[in-house]
């Protein structure tokens, strides 16, 4: 058992509050206390040392991602062709990259875990396989509920809350999920019944339930099941001018229950101004600041080509006319959910796109508590994850931000509130938004920090005035104590682990689920749940990392 000392680096560890030079010691894949006997030493002088990055909302695997790859061969032809390291297999893609190159690029940037936010229970094996084929990164996924006909039917007939909670618990266990995501609550199902819009208090045309009821029920169910990550909400009316109203109503509907509002930039639009489209970042930030039960990730947009992949078939169908190139894929899936894949090019000279860019940055800079804001582009929906270093520079460097702002549509550049925001995020705030906060929000106690006992996922960034360059290519990346990347080159290829939760629930629910699957399903009930051995095979033999559920109040 060898001990590694990382000597003299500037340790930025928001959980402990460390923000100064100190040594770190690593043994057996873990961070340990100071040791006199050291076998190996790395000189980290001039480096910033952080825990490995954790992306808690990134579409890295599953059916809709693979449809995006199939849809866009032209995007892939233009990307880096050759493996950069002899350990790598060929893999390509810019906005919908192959799983292999996804793992390589994340790790080269200093990320060590990524979470797929929209796994269909019926597509869970496929999703786990793709994540298992994403090298090195630990991974997990949130299973989608709230558009499945069974849940809506139970809600519609006034089924006991306990039974709905048990159904959620069973689904999480069956799909080996890390949490639950609701996408356009009841809206994906409503689209199958030809409803084209669903406000928070509007009834689903068939089941007569409202998004408000769906969100309340699921948020409460997760709390009672003790799932560490609270309900992950992709709200109603994504992308619609004036949707701040829906977002505020959703926060109100939660009535203090913990929840995570995802890619919130897409849900913070007003309808003021000459083009009836405006920033509602201030209103949103005020609501987040006033409601400590709420956390968010931003879903910043980045200019250039990308592809939007979403379970929200209702909204994606509505947006499909903006597809660039002009083609798109949609699907209704297994009485559970749907998907929409719409390629898109964000343009600096588009009023709407420029404002979206501004709104995302305003949200980052107006929310006070970095522990409740996670840095995401909702990869690839706002832009590919490879743009994170650029985004970090925008947040940390006001003059750089001003330079970029000047390139935008002139009306936006001239009038946005962002112009007058002087805040520059600190290294500690960036470390919070990219590792410490996501670890806490997911209930990963031994990740996202550098305290004794934590997993040795460690990144050394060479300090530079250009934060984009600094965060693009760390000098060293360690995963569970093993050196996996050195100056942008992969040096080892361990298989990542799979995070999931296994909440307790009353097994009596399985009797009615068996009946439901026999009548409405197309998979034998005994085939629905994924066992540990099968999960392990799907995930390429990576470690299984069950996260503990809490009892009583979440910590």
Partner 1 sequence: MTDFARPWTCPFCPLLCDTFGVEAGAGGALALVGSSCPRAGAALAACSATPSAAVPAVEGRPCDLDSAVTAAARLLANSRQPLFGGLATDAAGARALYALACASGAICDGPPALMQGVRALQDRGGFSTTLAELRTRADLVLCFGGLPTLRHPEFLARAGLAADDARLLVLGDGDDRFETAARLAALVEGRAVEGAPAPLAAAAERLKAARYAVLVFETAGLGPHGALLIEMLQRVVATLNRSTRAATLVLSGSDGGNDGGNGGGGGDGAATVNQVFTWLSGLPLRSHAGPHGLEHEPLTFDAERLCADGAVDLLLWVASFGPEPALPQTSLQMSLPRIVIGHPALAAAGADVFIPVATPGIGSDGHLFRTDGAVLMPLHALRPDTLPTVADVLRRLTAALAT
Decide whether 22 or 317 has the Cβ nearer to partner 1: 317
Distance (Å, whole) CA 396 – CA 242: 29
317 binds partner 1 (CB under 8 A): yes
Residue from 19, 23, 334, 411 that binds partner 1 (CB under 8 A)? 334
274 phi and psi, to 5 degrees? -65, -30
77 binds partner 1 (CB under 8 A): yes
CB of 320 to partner 1, least distance (A): 9
Distance (Å, whole) CA 216 – CA 172: 18
CB of 555 to partner 1, least distance (A): 36
378 binds partner 1 (CB under 8 A): no
Binding mask 186-205 for partner 1 (x = CB under 8 A): -----xxxx-----------
Encoded tokens for 270? 């007003």
116 binds partner 1 (CB under 8 A): no
305 binds partner 1 (CB under 8 A): no
Residue from 329, 375, 477, 485 that binds partner 1 (CB under 8 A)? 329
Residue from 46, 242, 273, 330 that binds partner 1 (CB under 8 A)? 330
228 binds partner 1 (CB under 8 A): no
Closest CA to 343 of 360, 361, 326, 356: 326
CB of 74 to partner 1, least distance (A): 9
What is the chain's length?
A: 555
Look at the block and give the residue holding tokens 């825990």: 51
What distances in angstroms separate CA 197 from CA 119, 267, 328, 345, 454, one per listed residue? 23, 15, 20, 25, 46
Encoded tokens for 188? 């994906």
DSSP H/E element including 117: strand 111-119
**Residues in Cβ contact with 310 at an 8 Å cutoff, skipping those fewer than 6 apart:** 64, 118, 183, 234, 238, 316, 339, 340, 341, 381
Distance (Å, whole) CA 342 – CA 328: 5
8 binds partner 1 (CB under 8 A): no
Decide whether 75 or 468 has the Cβ nearer to partner 1: 75
CB of 78 to partner 1, least distance (A): 11
Asked if 376 and 263 count as a contact pair (C-beta separation under 8 A), the reply is yes
80 binds partner 1 (CB under 8 A): yes
CB of 65 to partner 1, least distance (A): 7
Distance (Å, whole) CA 91 – CA 83: 7
Closest CA to 16 of 341, 435, 367, 553: 435
Distance (Å, whole) CA 181 – CA 188: 13
Asked if 298 and 263 count as a contact pair (C-beta separation under 8 A), the reply is yes
Residue from 28, 39, 43, 73 that binds partner 1 (CB under 8 A)? 73
CB of 522 to partner 1, least distance (A): 4
Stretch that binds partner 1, among 10-18, 116-124, 272-280, 460-468 (CB under 8 A): 116-124
Encoded tokens for 71? 């849809």
Asked if 320 and 334 count as a contact pair (C-beta separation under 8 A), the reply is no
Asked if 416 and 89 count as a contact pair (C-beta separation under 8 A), the reply is no
Residue from 210, 250, 335, 381 that binds partner 1 (CB under 8 A)? 335
The helix/strand/coil state of 11 is strand
524 binds partner 1 (CB under 8 A): yes
CB of 338 to partner 1, least distance (A): 9
Q: What torsion do the CA atoms of 391, 240, 333, 299 make, to the nearest 10 degrees?
A: 10
149 binds partner 1 (CB under 8 A): yes
CB of 95 to partner 1, least distance (A): 10
CB of 311 to partner 1, least distance (A): 12
Residue from 16, 41, 89, 469 that binds partner 1 (CB under 8 A)? 89
**Residues in Cβ contact with 303 at an 8 Å cutoff, skipping those fewer than 6 apart:** 346, 347, 348, 353, 357, 383
CB of 313 to partner 1, least distance (A): 9
Decide whether 89 or 406 has the Cβ nearer to partner 1: 89
Decide whether 97 or 299 has the Cβ nearer to partner 1: 97
CB of 519 to partner 1, least distance (A): 9
CB of 18 to partner 1, least distance (A): 39
Closest CA to 222 of 172, 261, 176, 256: 172
In SS3 terms, 131-179 reads as: HHCCCCCEEEEEEECCCCHHHHHHHHCCCCHHHHHHHHHHHHHHHCCCE
Stretch that binds partner 1, among 39-47, 97-105, 273-281, 478-486 (CB under 8 A): 97-105
Asked if 547 and 455 count as a contact pair (C-beta separation under 8 A), the reply is no
Instruction: Specify the pairing of strand 138-144 against strand 111-119.
Output: parallel
Asked if 96 and 343 count as a contact pair (C-beta separation under 8 A), the reply is no
Residue from 10, 44, 113, 122 that binds partner 1 (CB under 8 A)? 122
CB of 432 to partner 1, least distance (A): 32
341 binds partner 1 (CB under 8 A): yes
93 binds partner 1 (CB under 8 A): yes
Decide whether 284 or 307 has the Cβ nearer to partner 1: 307
92 binds partner 1 (CB under 8 A): yes
Decide whether 29 or 193 has the Cβ nearer to partner 1: 193
Distance (Å, whole) CA 154 – CA 210: 13
Asked if 327 and 71 count as a contact pair (C-beta separation under 8 A), the reply is yes
147 binds partner 1 (CB under 8 A): no
**Residues in contact with partner 1 by the rule CB under 8 A:** 61, 63, 65-67, 69-71, 73, 76-77, 79-82, 89-93, 96-101, 120, 122-123, 125-126, 129-130, 133, 149, 191-194, 317, 323, 327-335, 341, 520-524, 526-527, 534, 537-538, 540
């Amino acid at each position: 058992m060898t001990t590694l000392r990382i000597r003299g680096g500037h340790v930025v560890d928001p959980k402990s509050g460390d923000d100064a030079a100190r040594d770190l010691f690593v043994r057996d894949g873990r961070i340990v206390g100071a040791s006199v006997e050291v076998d190996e030493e790395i000189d980290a002088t001039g480096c910033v040392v952080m825990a490995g990055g954790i992306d808690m909302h990134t579409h890295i695997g599953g059916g809709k991602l693979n449809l995006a790859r199939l849809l866009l061969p032209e995007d892939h032809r233009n990307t880096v062709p050759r493996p950069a390291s002899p350990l790598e297999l060929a893999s390509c893609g810019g906005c919908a990259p192959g799983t292999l190159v996804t793992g390589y690029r994340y790790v080269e940037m200093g990320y060590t875990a990524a979470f797929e936010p929209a796994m269909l229970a019926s597509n869970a094996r496929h999703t786990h396989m793709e994540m298992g084929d994403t090298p090195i990164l630990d991974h997990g996924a949130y299973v989608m509920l709230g558009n499945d006909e069974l849940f809506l039917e139970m809600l519609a007939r006034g089924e006991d809350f306990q039974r709905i909670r048990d159904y959620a618990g069973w689904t999480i266990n069956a799909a080996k999920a890390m949490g639950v995501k609701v996408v356009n609550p009841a809206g994906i199902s409503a689209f199958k019944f030809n409803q084209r819009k669903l406000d928070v208090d509007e009834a689903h045309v068939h089941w007569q339930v409202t998004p408000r009821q769906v969100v309340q029920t699921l948020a409460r169910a997760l709390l009672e099941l003790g799932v560490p990550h609270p309900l992950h909400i992709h709200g109603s009316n994504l992308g619609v001018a004036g949707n701040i109203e829906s977002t505020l109503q959703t926060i109100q509907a939660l009535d203090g229950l913990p929840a995570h509002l995802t890619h919130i930039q897409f849900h913070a639009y007003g309808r003021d101004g000459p083009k009836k489209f405006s920033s509602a970042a201030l209103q949103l930030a005020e609501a987040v600041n006033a409601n400590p039960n709420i956390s968010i990730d931003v879903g910043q947009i980045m200019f250039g080509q990308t592809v939007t992949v979403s379970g929200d078939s209702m909204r994606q169908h509505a947006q499909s006319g903006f597809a660039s190139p002009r083609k798109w894929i949609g699907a209704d899936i297994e009485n559970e959910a749907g998907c929409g894949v719409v390629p898109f090019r964000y343009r600096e000279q588009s009023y709407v796109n420029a404002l979206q860019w501004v709104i995302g940055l305003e949200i980052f800079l107006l929310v006070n508590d970095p522990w409740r804001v996670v840095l995401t582009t909702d990869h690839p929906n706002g832009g590919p994850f490879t743009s994170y270093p650029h985004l970090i520079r925008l947040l940390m460097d006001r003059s750089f931000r001003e330079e970029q702002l000047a390139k935008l549509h002139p009306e936006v550049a001239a009038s946005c509130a962002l112009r007058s925001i002087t805040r520059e995020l600190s290294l500690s705030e960036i470390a919070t938004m990219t590792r410490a906060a996501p670890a806490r929000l997911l209930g990963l106690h031994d990740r996202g920090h550098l305290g004794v006992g934590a997993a040795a996922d460690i990144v050394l960034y060479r300090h530079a005035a250009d934060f984009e360059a600094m965060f693009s290519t760390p000098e060293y990346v360690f995963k569970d104590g093993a050196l996996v990347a050195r100056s942008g080159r992969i040096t080892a290829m361990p298989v990542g682990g799979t995070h999931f939760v296994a909440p307790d629930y009353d097994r009596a629910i399985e009797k009615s689920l068996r009946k439901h699957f026999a009548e409405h399903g197309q998979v034998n009930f005994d085939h629905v749940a994924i066992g540990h051995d099968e999960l392990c095979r799907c995930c390429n033999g990576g470690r299984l990392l069950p996260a503990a559920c809490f009892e009583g109040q979440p910590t």
